[in-house]
Amino acid sequence: MQDILNLNKNNCTDCYKCIRDCSVKAITFANETAEIVHNDCILCGRCFVTCPQKAKQVRDDVMQVKAAIAAGKRVVCSLAPSFIANFRIRDLSVIANALVSLGFAEVQETAIGAQLVSEEYANIMREGKLHVVISSCCPSINMLIKKYYPTMLPYLAKVMTPMEAHCKLIKEQQPDAYTVFIGPCIAKKQEGDESRYVDAVLTFDELADWFASEGIELPYEHVDPASEGALTRLYPATGGVLKATAKVEGYRRIAIDGIDNCRGVFDEIENSEFGKVFIEMSACEGSCVNGPCIRDHAERRLKGAMRVDTFSGNGETPYVIDRKPDIRTTYAFEGDHRMNFGSDAIRDMLFKMGKTSPEKELNCGSCGYPTCRDKAIAILEGKAKIEMCLPFLKEKAESFSDTIINNTPTAIIVMDEDLVVQQINPSALKMFGLKNARDILHEHVVRILSPEPYLNIVNAALHTTACKHYLADYGRYVDETILYDRQYHVVITLIRDVTEQEQLRLQGSELKQQTVEITNKVIDKQMRIVQEIASLLGETTAETQIALTKLKDAMAHE
């Protein structure tokens, strides 16, 4: 299974969407990427379909089939009836001819195997040993039961899937055949790997790419309404198994699709008493016409089901099968023995996640897990990290930012574009003489500050501006930086009180000015004395005068 569905790490963006959509949580978040836990995976393909970055990749087996054709093997295709929904062609002959042109020796419908399966379901009900009979057509549902619901194993019909039943029939009829199943299902690859009768499995996506590489274009046409047709062609649509299986007196019939819905039914069966019931189960909502490898996925449920219905015709022409193979099988529990964590370990982990009380267990599901408790268990199992909890990160970030804002000596005021105060920190309250934030919150900033600089930055659509000025009303010199965030429509002002520094600067300037004035007087006096002495001696004072003038200028600049 490990190489069937894998991750392209370069495309993974840590969005957790695959974890949210994985019903069995077979995905772990490690090394900043979502890794598939293959032992837990049931290959339903939901992560493949839902990934917005196409980070999940399905193993490509086209080269294996090409090699078989090149080796001269008789390659026989078992084609799932949902092909009519995926390729939107007129009838079977169109795609059969295209497959033959690729090198297939023969193309048969998997609906032949479905007919064998439906006959066995009817036989099981006629035997009457099981009150609850669960269909075994969907390999993902089979894996779900085998890995997670051992109590449901007795109810799972011990019958091969249509794919394996058909390929076994082909092998018995043509011992040299190399069987290739083609359909919309990823889980079929795992089933094929384990089967003695299926040599290779391709998805419709792989086949479409193969057609494209060979320049084969299938025309988009309406389905030809068939005057004849087998009921088992209805298998790909919800309720199709029920329609194709003969009614047995005493058994009610119900179709359930979607993994979560099927799991809900399992819980009901475990906890309630039911009369005799035959349950058709499919992992995909809408059944196989909504399989993970159906192209144009969003359009295929209704349109695909309608095309399947048309393709089945009147359903009154069953396939003629001369020698029917034995398609009974067994299913065994394959689940691993997971560690059970005690309530103390779970409670400690919840505490680390910030869930210190039941009220903080929001169970929002943003991390991908349905409840905070499930998330805590996933962390203990090594599947998840605490940081995947968005409320936890939000609370942590808010707590961190609040700590900084509430303890910084810088006054901070946050306003909307109308300059109505939305937030104010303790330093700002102290600076502007406010006793409580309620005194200014949701009031216009004009109550404490001139709105002009804030209006200017909004009107000019500037990002930031800074200046030093004097707040006369408060007797303070301040350095003010104003930020305008157009995206979030907020104006933020950061005001730092620099009164003390400014006063010291002014005092220093005044002292220097006094010093310069005294120095000027001393220099002027000294120059007069020097000039008098020089005149008596008959010498020039030019050099002395220049030196003293330079000293005077230097003092002035200081």
Instruction: Please give the model's pTM, rounded to 2 decimal places.
Output: 0.70
| Rounded Cα gap, residues 520 and 526, in angstroms | 10
How far, in whole angstroms, is CA 508 from its chain's centroid? 63
The answer as to CATH 3.40.50.10090 being correct for domain 1-59 is: no
Q: Provide CATH code, domain 338-407.
A: 1.10.15
- The DSSP secondary-structure symbol of 159 reads B
How buried is 326 (Cβ within 10 angstroms: 0-12 exposed, 13-18 middle, 19+ buried)? Answer: exposed
What is the secondary structure of 211-250 as a DSSP string? HHHTT--PPP-PPP--SS-BGGGGTTSTTHHHHHS---TT
User: Is 197:76 a contact under the CB 8 Å cutoff?
Assistant: no
Q: What string of pLDDT tens digits covers the 558 residues of the chain?
A: 568 998 887 888 777 788 888 989 888 877 777 888 888 999 999 999 988 888 889 999 999 999 999 999 999 999 999 999 999 899 999 999 999 999 999 999 999 999 999 999 999 999 999 999 999 999 999 999 999 999 999 999 999 999 999 999 999 999 999 999 999 999 999 999 999 999 999 999 999 999 999 999 999 888 887 667 889 999 999 999 999 999 999 999 999 999 999 999 999 998 888 889 999 999 999 999 999 998 765 566 788 889 999 999 888 888 999 899 999 999 999 876 566 777 888 888 888 887 878 877 777 766 777 788 887 878 787 777 766 666 666 666 666 777 888 889 999 999 999 999 999 999 999 999 999 999 999 999 999 999 999 999 999 888 888 999 999 999 999 999 999 998 889 999 999 999 988 888 877 666 666 666 666 676 677 667 766 766 666 555 555 556 556 655 655 555
The letter for the amino acid at 470 is Y
- The DSSP secondary-structure symbol of 196 reads S
Tell me whether domains 60-311 and 410-497 share a fold: no
As beta bridge partners, residue 29 has 34
Write a three-state SS string for 138-195.
Answer: CHHHHHHHHHHCHHHHHHECCECCHHHHHHHHHHHHCCCEEEEEEECCCHHHHHHHHC
As beta bridge partners, residue 279 has 134, 254
The domain made up of 60-311 has a fold known as Rossmann fold (3.40.50)
Contacts (Cβ under 8 Å, ≥6 apart) of 518: none
The letter for the amino acid at 338 is R
User: Is 245:126 a contact under the CB 8 Å cutoff?
Assistant: no
CATH of 410-497, one of 3.10.20.90, 3.90.1150.10, 3.40.50.720, 3.30.450.20: 3.30.450.20
Tokens (6 digits) for 454: 């804030």
* Domain coordinates in residue numbering, the chain: 1-59, 60-311, 338-407, 410-497, 512-557
Q: Which residues of 528-543 are buried (b: 16+ CB within 10 A; e: fewer)?
A: eeeeeeeeeeeeeeee
Collapsing DSSP states into helix, strand and coil, what is residue 466? Answer: strand
What is the end-to-end Cα distance of the chain in Å, rounded?
A: 82
